[in-house]
A and B are shown apart, each in its own frame.
Chain A
Amino acid sequence: DQQVKQNSPSLSVQEGRISILNCDYTNSMFDYFLWYKKYPAEGPTFLISISSIKDKNEDGRFTVFLNKSAKHLSLHIVPSQPGDSAVYFCAASANYGQNFVFGPGTRLSVLP
């Protein structure tokens, strides 16, 4: 039973437009969420995080939104760039940083 779901295995977006990556979770005890980006043959790279006491966190072109009642978070990338093409994972923790559960990932392709 997947506790963290990323229902879109892939997403294609035109350069300069907005990319929206979605993540749903089932465990209401999750209190901290992170997004990672992964290029082939490399380890994941941390992008942005959000704790359950907030509903939005912004860092440059990246914004994460959290809707606790819907158990849903999303990552917005504006504007999208070809270098953003990668696999994006969301991850959640129920005890502030001990055990993180990762989603299966969404492959983003930004087309020039």
Chain B
Amino acid sequence: GAGVSQSPSNKVTEKGKDVELRCDPISGHTALYWYRQSLGQGLEFLIYFQGNSAPDKSGLPSDRFSAERTGGSVSTLTIQRTQQEDSAVYLCASSLGGIGSYEQYFGPGTRLTVT
């Protein structure tokens, strides 16, 4: 498909374990975003990539969260030593990234449950 894909779609993990979430953006999109949506809440911005660099990491909630992007394409969000409050849907979005091209296209999300 031509849309943003994310894997896994669901992840259940035990408290204290590390998890990796993957995002495949739309081909040619230089900008990539990670958000999370906790139950009953709106979307919370986590991090933004332009190419492989992340000019804005201000949304990462703690140093247990990190993200990288390689080859200007795939991105992984890593959560170390997961806590129950990390349970949420993690959404990835991409956009063309040029001036005037700010519309973001979202993937279906990864539902993370920390037990």
Footprint of B on A, CB under 8 Å? Answer: 32, 34, 36, 41-46, 49, 89, 91, 93, 96-105
Contacts and interface: CB of A to CB of B under 8 A. Distances in A.
B58 to A, nearest CB: 7
A41 B108 contact: yes
Contacts of A44: 43, 91, 93, 106
B102 A43 contact: no
B40 to A, nearest CB: 9
Given A43-B91, A46-B103, A99-B58, 11 more contacts: A34-B104, A42-B109, A46-B104, A46-B105, A49-B102, A97-B31, A97-B101, A97-B102, A98-B55, A98-B56, A102-B43
Contacts of A103: 42
Interface residues of B, number: 29
Interface of B: 4, 31, 33, 35, 41-45, 48, 50, 55-56, 58-59, 91, 93, 95, 97, 99, 101-109
A45 B42 contact: no
A34 B103 contact: yes
A43 B4 CA distance: 10
A99 B42 CA distance: 15
Contacts of A105: 42
B106 A45 contact: yes
B108 A101 contact: no
Nearest to A46: B103
Nearest to A47: B103
A89 B108 contact: no
